Amino acid sequence: MSLKCLFGHQWSGCKCGKCGKMRNEGHNWTVLEGKCTKKCSICGKEYTIEHKWNGCKCEKCGLIRDEGHKWNGCTCMICKQYRDENHKLKLENQIKRCEICGIVKYDFDAVKQITDQKLLLEIALSSDNAARAAVQNIREPDEIAKVAISAKISDVAYLAVLKLNSLRCFDLLEDVATEGQHESISKSAYGCLKQISNENALKIRSERIKKATKHASVREEASRVFSLLNT
């Protein structure tokens, strides 16, 4: 205690006007504008007061909680939170689209009948189970390579690599080895190149791949093969 206040502090709310000592009483609470927080105007201490919930959202401060949502199918009408269920699916040319969120759902057998290449690519790149059916019907090698590089489902990307392999699309397999999203797929694509390329071409491709690929395991393998062939 400071000598100044030897005979008692001079409290002004939570703070002594003479020595500056604080105490945990006498705070001057005010509610912060647009928040569910009270703050002492003297010492700055804060605490949270009760929210006023309207379903999942506090009417006063706008805070969102993960309960009390007002679901309209897949989307909460208050906070727009999304769930992958209860979609309002409407059939439009062989695919089903949700009227609320726009998500597309496919039917595996229906997809087998689709020939529209643009639509097939969209399906093959999606995480829908029918992507496996879609990739089988894609004809253009460039489009197949897009699937191998960017498909969300790695099995689907692998099917695309096998197609590129049987079509002997060397350049595209090299693109997949370099740019594929899934490391295992890039590795498979490089594996195909090792089997179908002649030595000189493989050496040139391996040199480019080891410089450009973003996957460590592919880089190591390409470096190894390159040094073997470069002696």
List contacts with Zn ion (CB under 5 A): 5, 9, 14, 16, 18-19, 21, 27, 36, 40, 42-43, 51, 56, 58, 60-61, 63, 69, 74, 76, 78-79, 81, 87, 98, 100-101
Answer yes or no: are the C-beta atoms of 138 and 162 closer than 8 Å.
Answer: no
Q: Which is nearer to Zn ion, 87 or 215 (CB)?
A: 87
Least Å distance, CB 135 to Zn ion, is 25
Q: Which is nearer to Zn ion, 45 or 214 (CB)?
A: 45
Both tokens of residue 47? 């605490």
Least Å distance, CB 174 to Zn ion, is 39
Nearest to 98 by CA among 111, 110, 89, 86: 89
Q: Which is nearer to Zn ion, 54 or 227 (CB)?
A: 54
Both tokens of residue 117? 């290449």
Which neighbouring-strand residues pair with 16? 11
Least Å distance, CB 74 to Zn ion, is 3
Q: Which is nearer to Zn ion, 78 or 162 (CB)?
A: 78
Q: Which is nearer to Zn ion, 30 or 217 (CB)?
A: 30
Write down how long the chain is: 231
Q: Which is nearer to Zn ion, 74 or 144 (CB)?
A: 74
Least Å distance, CB 46 to Zn ion, is 10
Least Å distance, CB 13 to Zn ion, is 6
DSSP symbols for 85-112: SS--EEEETTEEEETTT--EE--HHHHH
Both tokens of residue 99? 């009227």
Least Å distance, CB 41 to Zn ion, is 8
Which H, E and C letters describe 175-228, residue by residue?
HHHHHCCCHHHHHHHHHHHHHHCCHHHHHHHHHHHHHHCCCHHHHHHHHHHHHH
